[in-house]
Amino acid sequence: MREPIIKGEPGVDPGEPRGRQEGRKIDPVDEKLRPQSLAEVIGQRSVAERLEIALSASRKRGEPLPHILFDGPPGLGKTTFATVLHNELGVELNMTSGPALSKNADVMPYLTNAVEGSILFIDEIHRLPATVEEFIYPVMEDFRVDIVLGEGMNARTINLPLKRFTIIGATTRSGMLSGPLRDRFHMHEHLEFYDVEDLSRIITINSVKLRTTITEDAAWELARRSRGTPRLANARLRWVRDFATARSDGQITLPVARDALAMQEVDEEGMDKQDRRYLETLIKVFRGGPTGAEALSATMNVAVDTLTDEVEPYLLRRHFIVRTPRGRRATVEAYRHLGMPEPMPEINLLDPQRRLFE
């Protein structure tokens, strides 16, 4: 298998490190920790098995992979699967993102320079402008570009044939994709959060790649506090490795891991300082809610998008908060986790069956 090629923006110096994306170089350590083949992928086994079938069929027929859409929360491996697929096929990989393709001219170099069987990875594909989205419809269906020359009565359309290649889209908000764009992907794979056992295996394997040693119970502790997300698990591992090097003999043991995470203010549930501040604000200022995200944002002096996209998803998944028609409300689990007295049950004065003076 020949050495695969990764490209980023058109015009990028080919001599630069592989994995350049939108003028931002991918951390070489992160690149090193990524699996290089489907066999190395831990977790998401049902997704990996379906991709293995697609790969096998593509090789036997001598055709490009079908267009694939990956969706799921950040950090679960959407980009990793794209790089793994191009490694398996030994083809060229071009990487871009939806916000970078603001007009048709931005996407044209990726289409006209694509070689037979190559892969075009579009991150945050839900943020493609409508004009660009409609422009790539014939690309995905018939591998052609419709170019309009002239205006008015003198306008004419030229059909430019393209090489057959694969578009892989990644999104954290599949609900924002239009129906026509979603339907043009032949495979739609949803990535789930990882369990602690899989994350522990990932941490153990990556500790070897980082040339550090970690005990089994320390790996389990890091996995337990990583919110089911490999990207966060790798970030925790790199921090604990630095801590072990600076404050210990370099070996990551359970006490070292706990001390390192305590310094980072990560508690046993994997919550950081901002997560706890969110709950404390909701409980102390708004008496547990319900209250709106805008009110919480103004009180905490944090952007609304930060709360809804980064903080709330995990709190909702762990049942520390619930969303109601009137706003966010803290649950009993949130009070218990923070060590605060649980709220008194509300009394419905209009309930004829409730005896107020018993």
Q: Structure tokens of 111?
A: 């289409």
Residue with tokens 């980009």: 79
Neighbours of 102 (CB within 10 A): 14
**Active-site choice (80, 83, 172, 212):** 172
167 DSSP β-pair partners: 120
Indicate if 183 belongs to the active site. no
**Active-site choice (7, 71, 83, 123):** 123
- Give CA–CA dist 264/168, Å, rounded: 36
Q: What is the phi-psi region of residue 247: left when phi exceeds 0, alpha when psi lies from -120 to 50, beta otherwise?
A: alpha
**Active-site choice (7, 20, 79, 184):** 79
**Active-site choice (7, 20, 34, 78):** 78
Residue with tokens 């090097």: 245
Where does the chain show beta strands of DSSP type E? 5-7, 20-21, 24-25, 68-71, 92-97, 119-123, 144-149, 156-161, 166-171, 187-190, 321-324, 327-330
Closest by alpha carbon to 136, among 103, 96, 158? Answer: 103
Residue with tokens 């004419």: 156
Indicate if 79 belongs to the active site. yes
Are 309 and 278 in contact, with CB atoms under 8 Å apart? no
- Give CA–CA dist 189/69, Å, rounded: 6
Indicate if 172 belongs to the active site. yes
Q: For strand 156-161 and strand 24-25, is the pairing parallel, antiparallel, or unpaired?
A: unpaired
Residue with tokens 């319900």: 290
Residue with tokens 């709106």: 292
Indicate if 213 belongs to the active site. no
- Positive or negative, the CA dihedral 250, 254, 256, 257 is positive
- Give CA–CA dist 8/326, Å, rounded: 45
- Give CA–CA dist 72/120, Å, rounded: 19
CB within 8 Å of 292: residues ≥ 6 apart:
327, 328
Indicate if 331 belongs to the active site. no
**Active-site choice (20, 231, 238, 328):** 231
- Could you give phi then psi for residue 153, rounded to 5 degrees? -70, -25
Q: Which residues are catalytic?
A: 78-79, 123, 172, 231
